[in-house]
Amino acid sequence: MGKKRALISVYDKRGIVDFARELVQKHDYEIISTGGTYETLKENGIESIEIADVTGFPELLGGKVKTLHPRVFAGILASRTHQDEINEIKEKDIQPVDMVVVNLYPFEEASKDFYMEIQSLIQFIDIGGVSLLRAAAKNFFYVTPVYSPDLYDKVLKELEENIGNTTYELRKELAINTFQYTSTYDAIISEQFYVRTAAISMDQMPEIFNLALKKKQELRYGENPHQKAALYKSHLNVDFELLHGKELSYNNLVDLTSALNIVSEFIDVPAACIIKHNNPCGVALGENITNAYVKAFNCDPISAFGGIIGLNEPVTKEIAEYAKDIFLEVIVAPDFTEEALEILTAKKNLRLVKVPMSMLEYRYTQKFDIKNLPFGTLIQTTDNVELTKDNFNVVTSHKPTPEQVEDMVFAWKVVKHVGSNAIVVAKDKRILGIGMGQTSRIASMEIALSRACNETKDAVIASDGFFPAVDNIHAAAQARIGAIIQPGGSIKDKDVIDEAEKYNIAMICTGIRHFKH
């Protein structure tokens, strides 16, 4: 049947000239190419056959239709051992294709532009390329699919070692990876259509939810040493840089996410957070980021030992000076000053993680929460609901002071990130005490108040759920709490509000619950 044939049609032209030259000069391949790829090869002195000369049909619609033709796909899909198929393509003067080198329009990269209109984004959906790769992968017994420039060296090495042929084992491996590549590509398109056509705002969850995840790195172990783990990423996940320190562990990644989730609640004010075991032990706002860190650390200096620090502004030299004498696992922030890096990199194992994006952008990157259960997979939209004047309802005659209102908003933003049942006590835009993960709300209340000690006079309380009984109000009154913010919605609401009135505690009911399990 003559020379081996490679069909080359690539958007990403990295390395394609050298790869094609090796195919032609060393391994006697004949090349078919399309549009821009044909021009690139021609400019570099590599002879190839233009796709229109194979199909007998010019490219249409500005290049949208060029390879979708029986003469192309029959050449890729034909069996090399079934005589009837061999005879059929011979009769039609169709030559078999032995290698398909295709990478796709960069839909994933284009979709990162959240402001791109759907009409523009669909121009990045590859049709012919996906079809070519799937055809090659389906017929991997005879055809080599090559979907990335990163594979060129591997394929050339195989050709060199096998007299111009690829092995069955390589073709099988590439076929598996090709189907993963094309299915991921389609999953990303599906997700973007769902997100960008306002289906979420219409309270509709997708009928099919595809998780297009690629393994980013193997982790030493999972939550515990006997569990295996790896980090997988989708195209919408946030990028980060490990600037210094040991490899990030499973627990480190969970905790630094919690830290960033909290500080990203505060877009226009410096915020600092310290996390232990996926719950905050210190959170504060400050006049500047150093002040915020000091206030957060002083919330619970004992629990801060071995913690994860999260900041919504770059780490300063002053913060580094404070942090260098404490055992910490991770510091995560949008950036680090040079002076801060010089100080902190002296601690060999301290992990310094840079998340180079605005906290506003970070906050809205994750659109879904996902939990795997033995019974199926639970998917929900993330808890990003905002307080507005419509759900900031003062239900007592005693009104909160402006300072208490600010503290209530602060505490409310924090309590949504604390494991239920959750109670947060706050004053002067810093946490005084947190009660978390208890099976009764009064138990969480008592823990939070006990940790706040004698600082509770005129402080505020935020509760992630309603109060089922007046015992919580009694506890708050004994601690001389000034104001409470809670969802409301209990059948005991009237009793609870009346009790707050009795003790001159201002109360706001939001109508928004913030359970976290």
pLDDT at 202: 52
The whole-number pLDDT of residue 287 equals 95
23 and 148, same domain (yes or no): yes
Question: pLDDT exceeding 90 applies to what percent of the chain?
Answer: 71
The total of structural domains in the chain comes to 3
Looking at the fold, whether 352 and 305 belong to one and the same domain comes out as: yes
The answer as to whether 420 is a domain residue is yes
Q: Does the structure show a pLDDT above 90 at 85?
A: no
> Are 191 and 321 part of one and the same domain?
no
Mean pLDDT of the chain: 91
- For residues 31 and 110, membership in a common domain is answered with yes
User: For residues 29-42, b (16+ Cβ closer than 10 Å) or e, as one string?
Assistant: bbbbbbbebbebbe
Task: Give burial (CB, 10 Å; 0-12/13-18/19+) of 28.
Answer: exposed
How far lies 3's CA from each of 95, 99, 407, 414, 446, in Å? 9, 12, 76, 68, 81
Q: Is residue 352 domain-shared with residue 471, that is, in the same domain?
A: no
Whether residue 191 sits in one domain with residue 339: no
pLDDT band at 203 (very low <50, low <70, confident <90, very high): low
How is 259-293 classified by DSSP, letter by letter? HHHHHTT-SSS-EEEEEETTEEEEEEE-SSHHHHH
The answer to whether residue 413 is domain-embedded is yes
Q: Considering 69, 277, 317, 474, which one is annotated as catalytic?
A: 277
Active site residue 157: no
Report pLDDT for 2. Answer: 65
In a domain, 516, yes or no: no
Same domain, 13 and 134: yes
CA-based torsion, 152, 153, 156, 161: positive or negative: negative
Query: In the listed set 161, 196, 231, which residue is the last one of a domain according to the structure?
Result: 196
Select which of 138, 154, 246, 474 is catalytic. Answer: 138
Q: Indicate which CATH number applies to the domain containing 104.
A: 3.40.50.1380
Q: Do 438 and 492 share a structural domain?
A: yes
54-68, 142-156, 171-185, 407-421: the lowest-pLDDT one: 54-68
Compute CA distances 239 → 112, 216, 235, 272, whole Å. Answer: 12, 11, 10, 21
Q: What is the pLDDT of residue 33?
A: 92
Give the pLDDT band (50/70/90) at residue 200.
low
What pLDDT score does 334 carry?
96
Q: What is the CATH number of the domain that holds 436?
A: 3.40.140.20
Tell me the mean pLDDT in the region 236-256. Answer: 92
Say if residue 409 is in the same domain as residue 344: no
Residues 25 and 140 in one domain: yes
- Of 139, 164, 196, which marks where a domain is finished? 196
Q: Worst-scoring range by mean pLDDT, 61-70, 257-266, 441-450? A: 61-70
In a domain, residue 217? The reply is no
Q: How far apart are CA 356 and CA 243, in angstroms?
A: 12
Q: Is residue 410 situated within a structural domain?
A: yes
Residue 378 lies in a domain: no
DSSP annotation of 515 reads -
What does the longest C-alpha to C-alpha distance in the chain come to?
A: 96
- Which of 158, 174, 196 marks a domain boundary? 196
Evaluate whether residue 117 is within a structural domain.
Answer: yes
- pLDDT tops 70 at residue 459: yes
pLDDT value, residue 199: 54
Reply yes or no on whether 138 is catalytic: yes
Are 187 and 278 members of one domain? Answer: no
Supply the pLDDT for residue 188.
87
Residue 214 lies in a domain: no
Q: Per residue in 270-303, pLDDT tens?
A: 999 999 999 999 999 999 999 999 999 999 999 9
The lowest-confidence range among 53-57, 98-102, 234-238, 278-282 is 234-238
Residue 497: give the domain boundaries: 393-509
Inform me whether the pLDDT recorded for 201 exceeds 60: no
Task: Say if residue 410 is in the same domain as residue 352.
Answer: no
